[in-house]
Structure 1
Amino acid sequence: MPMVQIENLDIVFGNQKMESLRLLDKGLTRPEILARTGDVIGVQNATISVEEGEICVLMGLSGSGKSTLLRAINGLNKVARGRCLVRDGERMVDMAKCDEETLRHMRTNRVSMVFQSFALMPWMTVLENVAFGLEMQGVSKKEREERANKQLKMVGLYDWRDKKPDELSGGMRQRVGLARAFVMDSDILLMDEPFSALDPLIRSQLQDELIELQKRLKKTIIFVSHDLDEALKIGSKIAIMESARIIQEDVPEQIVLNPATEYVEKFVAHTNPLNVLRGNALMTPLAQMAQLDGLFHVSEHLALDIQDGALKGASSHGHDIAISKWEDGMDIENMPENSVVLAPVGISMRDAVEIRYHTKMPMVLQDNGQCAGVLGDHQFYHALLGKHFSRAS
């Protein structure tokens, strides 16, 4: 059972919703419907499933419908047609059709939201702001302060608990917003461009902190962004929207490697491949490499002796060279120079480039202990120049 299941969902802003839906079904575009009825199509026929523990990023340009879709999940935007199902224990609640009591229950216990504008109450202290939602739940003062202090420690603001919001920087105020959402212990966290108003350095730092928090808390997060690099960095799944429609939904690597439309391809062309691509997407498989005298020739000077899937030896200019092994988490700076490195096929491009810098050699990638392919300068250049993707058919 997913945490959020959106099925064929339409959102229309205006007074002629039924007529606008009829025109939508006839194939009219957003501008044509606006001209006919004065209604704005906020979301068109959206279908997406978000599993427990995922960070799903809704992204697109301004006006694409991403924030509109997000706000349907907690009932802030009314659904014209379709279903918006949110898990509540063992049942799925349709936020488009539930009664007011159920809606309050879902907002109080299941779904929390972090806004772009922080939305802190200036007359309250940091601690009081974080604990406010618990107070609305009727939690005792002692318990809510204990829970709020725990979250403030987690976001590094415990020493600021008695300060007012105007005494904090923008990044610190956004951390308070995160703590306030996390303290509610909701299953689902909605984040509407929470870092976009911050300067790039603080923004990157908060992205890193969110990733670390998610490793510990394992919430289901639906995150709105207009920045693909941000989406690729934090998302376990990305849904790209254009003109109120979801045009591609996939894991980050597949979004980059196989853009579904020219619109997505333009996004991908300007992204940083170091943030998303992995070795198995870049490597040249052994089956495609030239062999001479039983050796795989990586370049004019480098040859590999691979037998039964195992790397037995390597030579450069006819002289044997060392073979070393790298696993995720190992210190890259200590990798020996002029050695061929064995690494997992899932190695990130960022780690692979750094290893290449220190060893000055291509690397051999393994899958389940078997040599699978080679990663060298040619593959890196293709990735950095955007030659790694192909338009999905």
Structure 2
Amino acid sequence: MELFDRFERQELEKAVLVHVDFYQEADREELDELYELVESAGAQICTLITTKRSYPDSKYFIGKGKAEEIKDAVALYEADVVIFNHALTPAQERNLNKYLEVNVLDRVGLILDIFAQRARSHEGKLQVELAQLKRMSTRLVKGWSHLDRQGGIGARGPGETQLESDRRLVQGRIKQLEAKIEKVRKQRDLGRRSRKRSELPTVTIVGYTNAGKSTLFNYLTSAGVYAEDRLFATLDSTLRKVHLPGAGSVIFADTVGFIRHIPHDLVTAFRSTLEETSEANLLIHLIDAADPHREEKIADVEAVIAEVGAADVPQLKIFNKIDALESPIEPKVDYSDDGFTPERVWISARDGLGVDLMMDAVASFFKGRFYKVRLELDVAAGKKRAQLYQLGTILEEGFDESGHSLFTMSLTEYEWNSIKDWPEFHRAELLNEL
């Protein structure tokens, strides 16, 4: 089922935006973010209507007078949709739809619309549809009463109304989606346990949407993840193995971007994806260094990290886009009070500036014991031989009389545990700890 696909039309929908200041001062950041969300959804902004209130109006959220002003603006610009930069109750949304005679979206519905456009993986599409249907289930209204089943002799009464039928169908679909997502979650758990058995640590990139996560991920892994200067350019998480010099191989995971006031239903719907965050060995918290509101956004990301149960995971803050600062700075690393633990790294992922410093900082979290090992590899295991070259430092290489490849290597504890049980080895011997 595909919902909220209005913005896929060739002609951009015309949108009237509404923002209410409940704190007696305009929140410029929220307005800027609203513009970016609407543009990301693919709508044309006609005008912005703002007002100040102490509390929301129970019927129209913005009061009858402002509702009339919005209706005039809809007529003037021939708008297709009115978008509120706030969460509306189902009753307020119904009342506004009826009064304005155009489609009304609130902030949650707008974000869901963007998610519906950006989801590409099977799991992402399931999660978006589930969030949409849960939202829809609270917004069903009575309609088509002429289709209600009428009782006959022995079955007097209205029977099942169309509204009840709609609710039953939606609830049935929600149960189907929850079962499918649970199946996908179990598959994720299997993959996660497999990585743990191979002792490969996971580094998860988190951050506010549009901080440059996909750009950094592509630079590190050549994954080809879609990256663009817009909110929620990518939605689905991606995993890639990366070799850290002196620390072995790790799994890098890209995640969906966070946002201010992220709807709780969205956090719940994407919990299985965000489990990559709570199960990580290290979080790379990517921050837009040039954003004037970066401190507030850091706090917002920290709040979501805590909500998904990852508050205790070690974290390395990466300040990206140093090239966009008013006074550009050179890449650098800031250390904690002990002088050894990196806390902040300043980089430009787009230009690759400072990424080597970041990788060294990440590697410092995983450097442990190094082993000197001797390996005898089957003559036909060409792919495994290539993997050994990518894996660690080869100290010596040769061949025996049977043509088997002989290696003496320096490997980290992680690397040794990940290869020692390869069936292609005739011998895998630990010589000593370096």
Structure 1 length as normaliser, TM-score? 0.25
Larger RCO of the pair (alpha carbons < 8 Å, separation 6+): 1
User: Normalising by structure 2, what TM-score?
Assistant: 0.24
Q: Higher strand fraction: Structure 1 or Structure 2?
A: 1
